[in-house]
Structure 1
Amino acid sequence: MAFGVAARAQAPDVSKKLEGFDAYMEQTLKDWNTPGVGVGIVVNDKLVFAKGYGYRDYEKKLPFTPKTLEPIASNSKLFTAVVAGMLVEEGKLTWDKPVRESVPTIQFYNDQLNNNVTLRDMLSHRTGVTRHDLIWFKSPFTRKELFEKLKYLEPQEPMRETFLYNNLMFSAVGQIIELKSGKTWEQFVRERIFGPLEMNTTTYTIADMLKQPDYGVPFREKRDSFELYKIPYYEDTEGVAPAGAIISNIDELSHWLIALMNDGKYNGKQVLPASVLKATIQPAIGLPNTLGEALGYWELLNPAYGMGRQTASYRGKLLTYHGGDLPGFHSQVSFLPNDKIGVIVFVISDHSAPLYNVISYNVYERLLGMDQTPWNQRRLQQRLAGKKAGTEARAKAGADRVPNTKPSHALAGYAAEYENPAYGILKIGLQGDQLQFGFHDFHFPMSHFHYDRFDTPDDEQYGKFSVSFRTNPQGDVNDAVISLDEAEVVFTRKAPTLDAKLLEKLAGTYMTPTKVKFEVQYQPGAGLSLVFPGAPPQKLIPIKGLQFRTPQFADSIYEFVVENGQVKALKERDPSGEFTYTRQ
């Protein structure tokens, strides 16, 4: 079913070139089991076509219309790049000088990044730091907290050599915009873009979206069947809002597309700086020809990423585009700069995400009078093959399980909070005789797999988390290891918080059996350190009770001896024995 009429009167030639498109869309939705799709077409400086197909709410059978709001996810990135460019125009930032020259508070993993990373690097995904999405996804972290986590993200590749998509860098640019403008990213974008472009219902939060009469409802398809089911809205977007929080509709997003296609002008007014738009489209890093090399599809050639958008040659035509993906909602905004044709596609349901490319390419081919590439058949074949392979793979899960093993500790020995400086807290609880998994807003029971490995159930939407616990040399459970994003992440058992008065009491002068005096120093906020004459301080990390260790050696324990409220000594134990250092 098609809903909505052209938002503007269609030019006769556009109408003629789109003959058969409605039937194509009806068949596409049927082929893909897609709840709903919205399509908008801009030619020159007008929205000439806007129509919804299927449903914005599949359960209630409410029609998808040009006014249906949905999250545009990473299509927010170009908004962020453009407002950053406005600050470049004002002299508050620069594209190509180290960003720390403008923002001294930003810290990356090492001096090489600190001394070299530019705003363009951050906006073009070429810092060498990979995406680490599970730092922010379903997390409670604020934008400021995410900004401060950049220093923990070790680069995987050298700078400016490899395209590594990174939402956290866009979040950081949003924080930079606030630092340099005195306004939040949300305020700045609303004042400088939404207002002038008359994007009056465009917003940032699901709560605000739900106050409007016409909005999309997210659905997914079951993994092992074709049943559609409703999923919760993804709402934890505040921290990474500059990477993906904007919510809009076909009608209002067309105002943005018109400005992009016309050197920043909308309704005769210069809204976006033309020089900034030119900077964002300039290629910053090349991408591989994945479609051609892997699948033999050479229509899209030589893609490159600028800032907040990509460019490529599509069948000999310059194309600029970006996609957006959050649970249940997918979108693409694209245009052909030299042909003055632009397309917006909204899609509901995760399994149908490839349709935003399929439909966009089909529209361009129709309007340009080209033969239609069989993108629908190609992608549908891939989708069904992938679905079948996934079902077969899940049926074989657990084949590597070693039978008849037991955990090395009683379950209470695993229950604790484990911490990673970048990813935050992993909370392992104990309820009855079952461990409980708590990470960000993920909460699942855990089952013993083998030895010290415990798994969560295989969730329909998010899959399975597998946690392997590791012991320290003293035999205590100390680490939890999970495969997250692109690598294993180690969470270390969180050290107990000791009372400052107790730490002050433990500080003092001690003497070795060889009569060498040394200090245990206490520094508020930093804790205790060992300071031997002529040597740098060694931090003491609390383990349990009055036991500590240094960062260098896990098998060496320092334990304070307290008798009748008085500190008597410090004992050092390692595999070779125990030494006692008396308090002076």
Structure 2
Amino acid sequence: MRRLLVSLVLLVPPAHAAPVAFDTAVEQAFDRYRLPGLAVGIIEDGEIVYTRTLGEIEAGGGQPVDADTLFKIASNSKAMTTGVLARLVDAGKLDWDDPVTKYLPQFRMHDPWVTRNMQVRDLLIHNSGLGLGAGDLMLWPEPNRFTRADIIAGLAHLKPTHSFRSHYSYDNLLYVVAGEVAAVAGGAPYEELVKRELFRPLGLARCQVGEWNRAEVGNVAQPHMRTPQGNRVIRADGEVVPDMPSMAAGGIRCSLNDMLAWVGMWLSPDATPAWLSPAQRKAVWTPQMPMPVSARMRQWDDTHYSAYGYGWRLSDANGAWKVAHTGTLAGMYSSVILLPDQRTGIVILINGEGEAARTVLGQVLTDHFTAPAKTTSVAHYADLLEAERGKERASAASVVDTRARTPARASALNRMLGRYRDPWFGDVAICSEGKRVRFNAARSPMLAGTVMQAGGRWLVDWDDASVDAEPWLIFEAGDGGRGTLKLSHVDPAADFSYDFADLDFVWVAPCAESNSR
């Protein structure tokens, strides 16, 4: 079975045989969005018909991206986590409707009733009642000092925004919990389960999970952000890539060849009949939670329904059944699009600021199969997307111009200085350091910056430019003039994983005591 999958990956036609339309779209997306690196693969009728790689693993480094280059697949890891769980269901080691507490007695949600009734399936379909990205600050920015145990303990302090099972709201923390459920049921740590149940039987030879050595593995794409001087690496990997707590939600890395083998397995189940039963293949792709159909989906794909399965988004595109997911991390973007009835799949991997490129390129390639009569291009969809975002920016009247900012003076903040504590995020210190007032999070060292004053309000200017969502600091006096601290987004369109609104800090100690610990 492994030899069969490897052979499928190797049956790539030469570049001169690749459809001109694919080459044109890939090159236009790469150029328009000034990407550092890009890898694209297409399967049609169960066969790999196209692969293309462009750019470098590190901008200016000289090593080109190829089909074996490792990329962070981010939230496309979720489908791998549910694949492992489905294998455990086939093996009789768990059921989708088992209570989570059967495997993790320490598991708690804010509402005890929800704790008792949360099933394994509920961990996977974004119906928990938590708000969008609730608690993600325990996962990102990486690296940080949170553990999986911290994440499970922190869930009890996250207040719901909706009732249980009533509303779709994307979350990541419960996939971390799902990984720990799998570990208990499968009798091995999550990363070992992924290797045992997925990588080895499917021949995904380059994929990495858990801790690994960058130099030994080699050919690892690094994330980039775009600057006026061009693409630059951010959050570069060290010699050893650690086992991050976010692994089950978004921490796996794979190459284009690996992802094509993964996609090919789903599109051609007869090639690997022993890997997963028909019943569990159906379960994974069964709609579990309704999702909203956006105006863009209606206009671009003529979509009529949208739902979430187990780690996959399910919808229709121009009358074709579509199974897909995206992955987003700082400086890394991925997309997997499947058209199961056509046995067709698309994989896109990017190591730069590629959200728009992923959207536009994925749409053009999908149209090729679902609406071949349409005359569309990268430029067409890029212009539509820019117009859409222009309207969003114009309507964001609450965005304040903060360019006229000055460092806050300790005397102005006065008794608001000190150490504050949130029950799930832990401590932050807002204290004088030299002539500046600094914000430092104890368990998230990348959340460090200078407190600035802008128009009579306070915000944090982060030290690391890759931390790209600034918070307002909202102090409320308590007894003796010291009380609480809340945070909110300066830019309402900031990434939802900076879930500042879920933080509820209380003053606990003066700076002198904070600095002595």
How is 1:358-377 mapped onto 2 (pairs within 5 angstroms)? 358-367=360-369, 370-372=372-374, 374=376, 376-377=378-379
Contact 1:289/1:302 (<8 A) preserved: yes
Identity among equivalent pairs (%): 22
Q: 1:182 to 1:27 in 2, by over 3 A?
A: same
What pairs up with 1:221-232 in 2 under 5 angstroms?
A: 221-222=226-227, 225=228, 227-232=230-235
Could you tell me which residue of structure 2 aligns to residue 239 of structure 1? 245
Which residue number in structure 1 is paired with residue 3 of structure 2? Answer: none
5+ long unaligned stretches in structure 1 = 1-5, 497-584
Equivalent runs, 1:191-340 vs 2, <5 Å: 191-204=196-209, 208-222=213-227, 225=228, 227-233=230-236, 238-263=244-269, 266=271, 268=272, 270-292=274-296, 296-340=299-343
Between 61-70 and 319-328, report the one with greater CA deviation. 61-70
Whole-angstrom CA distance in 2 between matches of 1:327 and 1:485: 15
Q: Which has the larger radius of gyration?
A: 1
For residues 412-460 of structure 1, the C-alpha deviation after alignment (integer angstroms, 9 at most, x for no partner) is x444321111222212232123211112122112234476835325964
Does residue 472 (structure 1) correspond to residue 478 (structure 2)? The answer is: yes
Report the equivalent of 1:120: 121
Letter in 2 for 1:322: H
Q: Which amino acid in the other structure matches residue 146 of structure 2?
A: F
The whole-number CA distance in structure 1 between the counterparts of 2:367 and 2:114 is 43
- What per-residue deviation string (whole Å, max 9, x for no partner) do you get for residues 10-40 of structure 1? 499x957x23321332222222222221111
Q: CA deviation at 1:46?
A: 3.7
Deviations along 1:24-82, whole A, 9 cap, x unmatched? 32222222222221111223444332220233332224322111111101010011112
Normalised to the residue count of structure 2, the TM-score between the two structures is 0.83
Distance 1:216 1:457, change over 3 A: closer
C-alpha separation in 2, matches of 1:87 and 1:155: 30
Number of equivalenced pairs: 482
Which segments of 5 or more consecutive residues in structure 2 lack a partner in the other structure? 1-8, 489-497, 511-517
The answer on whether the counterparts of 1:134 and 1:485 sit within 8 Å (CA) in structure 2 is yes
Separation in 2 of the partners of 1:288 and 1:415? 43
Cα-Cα RMSD: 3.6
1:493 equivalenced with 2:507 (yes/no): yes
TM-superposed deviation, 1:237: 6.4
Larger % of helix: which? Answer: 2
SS in 2 for 1:196: helix
- The AA in structure 2 aligned to 1:433 is K
Are residues 1:142 and 2:147 paired?
yes
| 2:121 partner SS | helix
The letter of the residue matching 2:320 is K
Cα distance in 1, alignment partners of residues 361 and 457 from structure 2: 48
Distance 1:375 1:229, change over 3 A: same
Give the aligned residue type for 2:308.
Answer: Y
The alpha-carbon distance between structure 1 residues 115 and 378, as it changes in their structure 2 partners (threshold 3 A), is farther
Say if 1:237 and 1:387 are closer, same or farther in 2 by CA, change over 3 A: farther
Counterpart for residue 461 of structure 2:
456
Q: CA deviation at 1:309?
A: 0.4
Task: Name the CA distance, whole Å, in 2 between partners of 1:271 and 1:328.
Answer: 33
Distance in 1 between the 2:278 and 2:410 partners? 66
C-alpha separation in 1, matches of 2:71 and 2:64? 14
Secondary structure of 1:319 counterpart: strand
Per the alignment, in what secondary structure is the counterpart of residue 300 of structure 2?
Answer: coil
1:481, 1:367 → 2: CA distance? 48
Q: Greater relative contact order: 1 or 2 (C-alpha under 8 angstroms, separation 6 or more)?
A: 2
